[in-house]
Amino acid sequence: MVTLTRPEGTLAEDLHISRRSLTALLAAGYAAAAVSASAEPISTGTKGLTIESVTMAGGLPGFVARPSAPGRHPAVIVVNEVFGLHEYIRDICRRFAQAGYVAIAPEFFFRADPQRTLPTLTDFPAILKIVGTAGNEQVMGDVKATLDWLAAQTFVAPKRLAITGFCWGGTVVWTAAQRFPQLGAGVAWYGRLKGQPGGEARRYPLDFAAELKAPVLGLYGALDKGIPVADVEAMQAALKAAGSKSRIKLYPASDHGFHADYRASYNPADAADGWALLMAHFKANGV
């Protein structure tokens, strides 16, 4: 496995970090609804990697970044935010691949957005309309299809599987860790922990804290207006009461989206710390 020279990214010569105009960021494929004109997002190189688009069971598309070197590698499912599969998520996959992982990001919203317009939208109600079509059972079906695809690949170590996700994808991580025993570990970045009035009738992480089949590391910001600290503390208490190996770290100075280097909410220090904890969590659990 490649030894990283920094918590987020790969070898220095494979990284290019520069200030870009908003136009350039949009052209690069970052989510139009959230990108900051002053962002300096990390761009991870592809040297030594195989990059490909795949189609899984049920027509589910996926973006894959993996080491080109022969052999079986641990694998991680990368679950997007509400903005779909855009450049930030693709770069997360490349970061994992440079660290020795097979990384796959499924396109969970492809049924309602076959033309893949979601990352270009700026109207939030329109974004949520697309996202709302992906119900919990459909999403879990897509996670299963992705796990099945990984298990069938000769370049994947089938017993070394993990999942991570951001925002909307953070909740998917908790849910998948309760559903799929083949997962060895999960890391949930600021995923919702309980339902909202008028939301989908389903179970949320606070409902199944005692049922997790894989240890989850939750990474949350205390300044997050959408996920109150009270919810985080309730989840911490539920995990402790269950004797769970899962845990949550709360960053006092971070808001929602603190890992997203293309957004104004990006907190470089906490993002780097969270990424280091993610890598350590995966390693500690054999992934």
Per the structure, the count of domains in the chain is 1
Assigned domain for 4 exists: no
Q: Is residue 3 part of a domain?
A: no
Mean pLDDT of 222-227: 97
User: What pLDDT does 16 receive?
Assistant: 36
Residue 151, in any domain of the structure: yes
Nearest to 33 by CA among 265, 285, 263: 263
Specify if 240 maps to a domain.
yes
What percent of the chain shows pLDDT beyond 90?
A: 87
The Cβ-side half-sphere exposure at 155, using a 13 Å CA radius, reads: 16
With respect to residue 63, please indicate whether it lies within any of the assigned structural domains: yes
Tell me which residue range forms the domain holding 169.
12-284
Q: Catalytic pick from 14, 91, 142, 224?
A: 224
Give residue 275's pLDDT band: very low, low, confident or very high (50, 70, 90): very high
Residue 120 located in a structural domain: yes
Instruction: Write the CATH number for 210.
Output: 3.40.50.1820
Q: Is the pLDDT of residue 1 over 70?
A: no
Radius of gyration of the chain (CA): 18
Domain assignment present for residue 133? The answer is yes
Say if CB 32 and CB 120 are below 8 A apart.
yes
Chain mean pLDDT for the chain:
92
Active site residue 256: yes
Query: What are residue 104's phi and psi, to 5 degrees?
Result: -130, 130
Q: Which of 167, 255, 259, 261 is catalytic?
A: 167
Please indicate whether residue 142 is annotated as part of the active site: no
Q: What percent of the chain has pLDDT over 70?
A: 93
Span 68-125, pLDDT tens digits? 999 999 999 999 999 999 999 999 999 999 999 999 999 999 999 999 999 999 999 9
On whether residue 6 sits in a domain, the answer given is no
Task: Kindly tell me if the per-residue pLDDT of 28 is higher than 80.
Answer: yes
Query: Which one is catalytic: 73, 86, 256, 259?
Result: 256
Which structure tokens are listed for 50? 């195989």
User: Does residue 128 carry a pLDDT above 50?
Assistant: yes
Note if 224 is an active site residue: yes
pLDDT tens for residues 208-220?
999 999 999 999 9
Confidence (pTM): 0.92
Mean pLDDT over residues 134-154, rounded?
A: 98
| Largest Cα–Cα separation, the chain | 49
Please choose, from the candidates 169, 185, 166, 165, the residue with its C-alpha nearest in 3D space to the C-alpha of residue 177.
185
pLDDT recorded at residue 15:
32
Q: Is the pLDDT of residue 197 over 90?
A: no
Partners of 215 in beta bridges: none
